[in-house]
Structures are given as structure tokens and as C-alpha cells.
């Protein structure tokens, strides 16, 4: 008996010690459910918790943040919904309230504006938290209209990954705290743009005000809100239920969606379940609640944005712009649809005050007036939604690039532009003129798109010289095509009309000329075939002109062009040509000039015949007789005289620089002449006014360029006639 009593006493002492050490402290607050019970004004949310099946979760251990609407908030909710009370809500409706107000992890007000990055807390950049709410498997229809079970993608499609097992695609709850708003440069105006009936207080959750914060509980933190917040739809859910955006949704359904069997989910479900997969070319998947998932919690600090035009606005633009040269969207390249849709998608939050500085997937700002163009605005679970009365006019459609891109007759030119120039010429803030050449025109010139010549789409080209010769394919044909293409792109200038006359520098640095709606490059002059301008259309950044022939580059040497214009006895270039062709630096058979390299740019300033005579009499060129009546000696015998000729010619050639009388480029430019020390020499070209070019030599002599006998096009070279010679200093 004594032993038994001692044993009982010992056990009792141990239990007391255990309870004192491991037992629940008396100072510990009750769990969330019990705290709400004790306050007396949360009967409706408690009933909703019970109906939703979350009593056990919120009445036991855990780590949650719960945004609890008080009973007065529910009275407003019941009135708005036209229902008598909580008994009118079924378990599903209660789940949409409870799970969306239930946030993973406990966050007091002081931390809720901070982002939980993998490197630690990042202050003042968070406005969302992951909730217990998610959609799961639901009823839907596949692309053939058949009823199926569907689950949403929980990753943006990267071409291989679009769904990750064990991720429920939980929805995020948006809130607005003053430290976040200040850090982002936002104000109450931004908040009230979405929630005009709710005052911004510095701690708002959706359209509710937090009336009491940081209430401690054993399993987390409670914040009291004055409105009932129920699960927000995601972007995909929202546009699927709004008939005014059905035309935009059709683009997704027809061209940008597919459904793939999800084996893992199907094993746990009585019927096959299919993942709803958006195209990998899109900025994001509108049914993905997880944001970019570059970090686990990156959805706390950013979200998607989507601007969706109403049906009328979309159809008007599609019919007037996208379908100008097509009869249906089915006919056009899918990239056009990608670009159109992506122009309306942002991989970031676009706030009302930040339209002009927040850029979409194509790198363009939101081109809408928040007051005039937005007819619907919502902050949703995975993004910000704006319904608009007009489309986002993407650069690729509204620029000169769009004139080729949206016309199937110019698909070859579009493909070539895409290789190097798409970004530049589609930028509506940069001026360009485009000389359009159709597939038929390119084919007639011997150029063809041929997928059989190379596995790389960039090299699928073939060139067959129309007059015979070796065929080029692949990269060799592409090099030729890109040089030709560059002749048709005029940067930094909107040439609105080709009816007058002028000379313009093209993207590749070569010049082309136009006169009375005829356009020609050096190769056209060689062949005697000019391109006619058959039509012109304006764009936001310039003008597109339609040509019936390709502009071609010359394959002759500069010397051969000088021979052509200098051989006639009556030519003002004749004396210069006679010196050149007999000089030691010229090869007659090829037309090559020593130190004038093929593929480089040059400008020849050629003194007219009177100027050559003056140079002869001034001793800068060899001659016979006595000054001032000396005559040229075109074929001197002495080495000194031969060098005199070479030096004279070289000083009249700009090295690696081609300039025209277009009034565009002035400056000091190096010549080919080197002084006795081997140092380069230069002349100054004054070219501020079209057709008024002047050249200043090393003796400060100013020489006029004769515009009537200038701008001769050669192989990456311009040839000008000048009224006097240029004098150099040894």
C-alpha cells in the first residue's frame, strides 16, 4: 500500500513537471476561431467557417493571416446579394469567402507590405499574398466543343513546362498599404480608380477597410475588415464570363489554346482531366495564378495586366487594319495574332497613373486614356484587368513595318526585315521611309524563298541570276538579299513624296535617288532599269512607297563608273579621268584604284576641266608649256610627276565615307592622301542645306559642289563635280 501511494505520487509529480514545461502557456492567445468567438461580433464568419469545413483548420495549431469581416460587413453583403442571411449561403459560397480571406503565414501590418524573397525580406514592394483558395478541377469544353474536366495551367508555358504537380495554383489576395503605395509612387487616386466607393486608409484589402489590425491568435494574426471579400476570378475566368469581350476570347480559344491530358490528376479523379494550356508565345498564361514563378513568392510583388478591347472596338480594328489584305484571320501568319494579343498583355502591374511608363510584352506603353478609353477595370486574383473602347495599336501594325507585315504579297520582304530591322523600323518614335518590293518583284529579279536549301529558316533563300550565272543558296543568297534590302530602308527621314527629285541615304549606307516617282540605285543605273513608285501609304513613323522593280546595288568597280562618265571629250569629268586612267594607281582591266577597297565607302570630289587646268598651272598636276598657259600632261614619265598625280587624286577622295548633297551630314572627313610623315589629311564638308554642299581644303579654300553634275551613284560611292581643285599641304 505504501509503495503504491509513493508510485502514484511520483507519477503525479512527473506529469505536473511535464505540463509545466511542455503544456500550453496560460498567456498564449486562443486560435483564430476561438478569438473570433470571444469577440461576439463575428457570428456570420464563424458560421461560414463551419459551412466551409474550416473549423478544424482555424481552431487548431497553424500559421495563418485571416481577414475577418465583422457581422456588420455581412449585413451589407446580404443586402447587396438580396439574401436573408448566412443560411442562404451554401458551402461553396462560404468556401469562396473563407479560403480567400485566409492567407498562408502570419503577417502583421508592419510586414505585410514587404516581399518574402529567397534572399530575405524586401521592404515596401508587396501588395498580394497567397491564399487557401484555388479552383481545382472544373467543367469545361475542349477546342471541339466537347464537355471535359479541366484543370488550369499553374505555370506560364515555356514550350515544355506548363503544369507542376503538387501546386494547387492558389489565388492571391490584393491589399494596399501606405508603405507600398508610397514606394511605388501611387496614391489614393490609383486605389479609388478601382474602388471609388471605398476610402483609401493606408490599409485596404480589395474594396474593404481594415478596421482593426494585428489581433494575435495562437495560429496566426487577425485583421478585421468592414466588407465581405469573396474569391476574385482570374483573368481567364473573368473574360470567359463577360460577353462584351467574347471576340478577344475567341482569339485565345481558336488560335492560342490546347488541352492536354493530365495523367497525374486523372489518376486521382474519376474522369480524365485535361490541362488548359495557353500558347508558349504569349506573354503569360491568363489562367496561371502563380505569376512568373522566378521565385516561389514572386506573386507577392507583381502581377499580370491585361487590356481587352470590347467586341465592337476589336472587330473594327481587325476588319480595317489586320484584314486589309486578308479575307479572314485563318489566312494570316499566326505571328500576327501573337503580336496582336501580346500587345494587350503586360508581365507587370499597370497602375492607372503609370500607363505612359509601363511597357507591355512588345515593349510599348499603355496607349489609353484612363479617363476616356477604359470602360471596365478590375483587380483580379492574378492580374489587373482593363476593358477598353479601343485596341492597343501595336507598333508592328501602325508603323511602316506594318505595311509589309500585314500584306501577304510582301512576305519575303517581311522575313528579311525580321532578321535585323524589325525592331528599328517598327519603332513609331523613329522616322523611316520604306520602299516596298513584293514577292513577285523579288522573284522576277531572281530571288526566291526556298525551304529546301537549308534547315535554318534564316537561310532558306535562293538567288538565280535572271540573265544566267551561278546560282546562290543559303547564307550566300542571304548576304546578297540583305544588302539589297538595305537599299529599300531609309532611316531618320520621312520621304512623304517621290514626285520631286532627291537623294537619300539608305540603311546600309548606300544612296538612292528619286525623280518624278522613279527611284534608282547604282545597279539600276548600270542596267538602265528604274523602279516606278506605284503607290504610297503613310504610317505613324513614316511613309511606305510601293515599287515595281527592285533597287539593285552595282557590281562594277568605281573606276568603271568614272570611265563611263569621264570618257566623252565633252564631259566635265574628262580631264580628271584622263589623269586617273593613265596613273600608276589605276588598273584599266578591272577598274580598280589602289587603296580604294571593294566593300568600303568613298566619296570622289572631281574638279571640272577648268579646275584641272588651274591645278596644272598652279603646279599641282604635271603639264607642259609655261604658266598660265600650261596644258595637262596626262601621262608623265617622271616618278615625281606620277606621284603628283596620285597625291592629287587621293586628296579628292574621302576615305570610308560616302556623302551626298542631301543636307544631312557635315563634318571634317579623312581623305586617302597621306602627308610625308604618313599622317592622314582631311577636308571639311559643309552640307547643312540640300544641293548647297561646299568643301574646304587644307588651305581654307572653299570649293562649291555642282549639284547638277553630282550625286552619281557608284558601288558604295558617291561622285561629285566641284568647281575648283582641293589643295593639300605636304
Per residue in 453-492, pLDDT tens?
999 999 999 999 999 999 999 999 999 999 999 999 999 9
Rg (CA), the chain: 38
Give per-residue pLDDT as tens, 501-535. 999 999 999 999 999 999 999 999 999 999 999 99
- Kindly list the structural domains of the chain, giving each domain's residue range(s) and its CATH number in brackets, ordered by start: 32-133+172-230 (2.30.180.10), 237-328+363-392 (no CATH), 399-547 (2.30.180.10), 558-722 (2.30.180.10)
Which residues neighbour 646 within 8 Å (Cβ) at sequence distance 6 or greater?
583, 584, 585
pLDDT at 12 over 80: no
Average model confidence (pLDDT) for the chain? Answer: 96
What pLDDT sits at residue 27? 72
Q: Is the pLDDT of residue 88 over 80?
A: yes
pLDDT at 153: 98
Burial of 37 (0-12, 13-18, 19+ CB in 10 A): middle
Looking at the predicted structure, is the pLDDT value of residue 7 above 60?
A: no
Give percent above pLDDT 70 in the chain: 96
CB atoms within 10 A of CB 369: 12
Write down the pLDDT at residue 18.
Answer: 43
Q: 518 forms bridges with which residues in the sheet?
A: 515, 532
92-116: pLDDT as tens digits? 999 999 999 999 999 999 999 999 9
The grid coordinates listed for 229 are: 471579400
When pLDDT is averaged across residues 364-369 and rounded to a whole number, the result is 98
The 8-class DSSP code of residue 31 comes to P
447-449 β-sheet, strand order = 447-449, 461-463, 472-473
How far is 531 from 519, CA to CA, in rounded Å?
5
Measured between alpha carbons, how far is 381 from 173 in angstroms, rounded to an integer? 6
Q: List the beta bridge partners of residue 387.
A: 308, 376
Smallest Cα–Cα separation from 124: which of 59, 193, 180, 200?
A: 180
Residue 16 has pLDDT above 60, yes or no: no
Q: Which residue has the higher pLDDT, 11 or 41?
A: 41
| Torsion angle, alpha carbons of 82, 86, 87, 92, to 10 | 90
Q: How confident is the model at residue 28 (pLDDT cuts 50, 70, 90)?
A: confident
For residues 473 and 450, the answer to whether their CB atoms sit within 8 Å is yes
Write out the DSSP string of 522-579: HHHHHHT-PEEEEEEEEETTEEEEEESS------S-HHHHHHHHH-STT-TTHHHHHH
Q: Which of 180, 226, 215 is nearest to 65 (CA)?
A: 215
Q: Is the dihedral of CA 340, 343, 348, 350 positive or negative?
A: negative
Residues in the chain: 730
In the predicted structure, residue 158 carries a pLDDT above the cut 70: yes
Do 178 and 203 form a contact (C-beta atoms < 8 A)? yes
What is the mean predicted confidence (pLDDT) over 557-563?
98
Q: Answer yes or no: is pLDDT of 615 > 60.
A: yes
> What is the per-residue pLDDT for 720?
99
Distance CA 507, CA 387 (A): 40
Position 570 pLDDT exceeds 90: yes
What pLDDT is recorded for position 695? Answer: 99
Each residue of 280-338: pLDDT tens digit? 999 999 999 999 999 999 999 999 999 999 999 999 999 999 999 999 999 999 999 99
What mean pLDDT is predicted for residues 266-271?
A: 96
Mean pLDDT score, 124-151: 97
Residues facing 217 on adjacent strands: 220
pLDDT of residue 2: 47
Q: E-strand spans in 292-373?
A: 304-309, 345-346
Write the burial class of residue 323 (CB in 10 Å: 0-12 exposed, 13-18 middle, 19+ buried): middle
Which pLDDT score, from 0 to 100, does residue 729 have? 82
Of all residues in the chain, the percent with pLDDT exceeding 90 is 96
Check residue 599 and give its pLDDT. 94
Q: E strands, 110-234, where?
A: 115-117, 120-122, 128-130, 138-141, 147-152, 172-177, 203-205, 208-217, 220-225
Residue 14 has pLDDT above 70, yes or no: no
Amino acid at each position: 500500500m505504501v509503495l503504491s501511494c509513493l508510485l502514484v505520487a511520483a507519477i503525479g509529480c512527473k506529469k505536473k513537471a511535464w505540463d509545466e514545461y511542455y503544456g500550453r502557456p496560460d498567456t498564449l492567445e486562443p486560435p483564430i476561431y476561438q478569438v473570433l468567438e470571444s469577440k461576439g461580433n463575428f457570428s456570420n464568419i464563424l458560421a461560414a467557417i463551419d459551412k466551409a469545413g474550416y473549423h478544424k483548420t482555424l481552431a487548431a495549431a497553424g500559421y495563418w493571416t485571416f481577414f475577418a469581416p465583422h457581422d456588420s460587413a455581412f449585413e451589407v453583403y446580404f443586402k447587396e446579394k438580396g439574401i436573408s442571411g448566412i443560411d442562404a449561403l451554401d458551402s461553396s459560397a462560404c468556401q469562396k469567402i473563407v479560403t480567400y480571406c485566409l492567407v498562408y503565414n502570419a503577417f502583421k501590418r508592419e510586414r505585410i507590405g514587404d516581399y518574402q524573397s529567397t534572399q530575405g525580406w524586401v521592404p515596401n514592394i508587396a501588395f498580394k499574398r497567397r491564399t487557401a483558395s484555388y479552383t481545382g478541377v472544373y467543367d469545361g469544353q475542349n477546342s471541339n466543343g466537347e464537355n471535359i474536366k479541366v484543370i488550369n495551367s499553374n505555370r506560364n508555358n515555356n514550350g515544355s513546362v506548363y503544369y507542376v504537380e503538387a501546386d494547387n495554383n492558389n489565388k492571391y489576395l490584393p491589399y494596399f498599404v501606405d508603405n507600398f503605395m508610397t514606394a511605388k509612387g501611387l496614391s489614393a487616386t490609383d486605389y479609388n480608380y478601382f474602388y471609388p466607393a471605398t476610402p483609401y486608409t493606408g490599409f485596404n484589402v480589395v474594396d474593404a477597410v481594415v478596421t482593426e489590425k494585428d489581433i494575435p491568435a495562437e495560429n496566426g494574426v487577425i485583421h478585421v475588415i468592414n466588407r465581405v471579400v469573396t474569391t476574385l476570378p482570374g483573368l481567364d475566368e473573368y473574360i470567359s464570363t463577360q460577353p462584351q469581350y467574347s471576340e478577344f476570347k475567341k482569339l485565345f480559344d481558336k488560335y492560342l489554346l490546347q488541352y492536354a491530358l493530365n495523367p497525374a490528376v486523372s489518376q486521382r479523379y474519376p474522369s480524365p482531366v485535361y490541362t488548359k494550356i495557353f500558347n508558349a508565345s504569349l506573354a503569360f498564361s491568363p489562367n496561371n495564378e502563380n505569376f512568373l514563378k522566378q521565385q516561389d513568392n514572386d506573386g507577392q510583388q507583381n502581377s499580370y495586366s491585361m487590356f481587352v478591347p470590347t467586341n465592337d472596338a476589336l472587330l473594327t480594328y481587325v476588319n480595317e487594319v489586320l484584314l486589309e489584305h486578308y479575307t479572314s484571320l485563318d489566312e494570316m501568319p499566326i505571328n500576327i495574332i501573337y503580336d496582336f494579343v501580346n500587345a494587350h498583355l503586360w508581365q507587370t502591374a499597370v497602375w492607372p497613373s503609370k500607363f505612359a511608363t509601363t511597357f507591355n510584352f512588345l515593349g510599348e506603353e499603355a496607349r489609353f486614356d484612363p479617363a476616356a478609353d477604359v470602360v471596365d477595370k478590375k483587380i483580379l486574383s492574378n492580374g489587373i484587368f482593363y476593358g477598353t473602347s479601343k485596341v492597343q495599336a501595336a507598333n508592328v501594325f501602325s508603323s511602316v513595318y506594318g505595311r509589309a507585315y500585314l500584306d501577304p504579297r510582301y512576305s519575303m520582304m517581311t522575313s528579311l526585315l525580321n532578321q535585323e530591322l524589325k525592331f528599328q523600323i517598327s519603332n513609331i518614335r523613329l522616322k523611316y521611309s520604306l520602299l516596298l518590293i513584293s514577292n513577285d518583284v523579288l522573284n522576277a529579279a531572281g530571288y526566291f524563298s526556298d525551304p529546301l536549301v537549308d534547315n535554318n529558316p534564316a537561310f532558306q533563300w535562293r538567288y538565280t541570276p535572271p540573265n544566267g550565272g551561278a546560282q546562290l543558296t543559303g547564307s550566300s543568297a542571304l548576304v546578297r538579299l540583305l544588302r539589297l534590302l538595305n537599299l529599300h530602308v531609309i532611316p531618320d527621314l520621312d520621304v512623304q513624296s517621290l514626285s520631286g527629285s532627291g537623294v537619300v541615304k539608305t540603311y546600309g549606307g548606300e544612296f538612292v535617288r528619286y525623280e518624278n516617282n522613279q527611284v534608282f540605285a547604282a545597279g539600276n543605273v548600270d542596267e538602265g532599269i528604274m523602279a516606278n513608285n506605284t503607290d504610297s501609304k503613310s504610317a505613324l513613323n513614316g511613309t511606305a512607297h510601293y515599287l515595281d522593280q527592285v533597287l539593285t546595288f552595282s557590281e562594277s568597280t568605281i573606276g568603271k563608273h568614272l570611265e563611263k562618265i569621264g570618257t566623252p571629250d565633252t564631259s566635265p569629268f574628262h580631264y580628271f579621268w584622263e589623269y586617273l586612267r593613265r596613273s600608276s594607281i589605276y588598273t584599266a582591266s578591272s577598274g580598280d584604284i589602289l587603296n580604294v577597297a571593294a566593300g568600303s565607302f568613298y566619296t570622289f570630289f572631281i574638279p571640272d576641266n577648268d579646275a584641272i587646268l588651274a591645278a596644272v598651272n598652279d603646279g599641282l598636276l604635271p603639264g607642259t608649256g609655261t604658266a598660265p598657259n600650261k596644258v595637262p600632261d596626262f601621262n608623265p614619265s617622271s616618278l615625281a610627276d606620277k606621284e603628283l598625280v596620285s597625291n592629287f587624286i587621293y586628296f579628292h577622295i574621302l576615305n570610308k565615307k560616302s556623302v551626298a548633297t542631301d543636307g544631312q551630314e557635315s563634318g571634317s572627313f579623312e581623305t586617302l592622301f597621306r602627308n610625308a610623315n604618313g599622317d592622314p589629311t582631311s577636308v571639311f564638308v559643309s552640307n547643312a542645306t540640300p544641293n548647297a554642299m561646299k568643301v574646304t581644303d587644307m588651305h581654307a579654300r572653299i570649293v562649291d559642289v555642282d549639284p547638277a553634275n553630282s550625286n552619281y551613284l557608284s558601288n558604295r560611292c558617291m561622285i561629285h563635280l566641284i568647281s575648283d581643285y582641293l589643295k593639300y599641304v605636304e
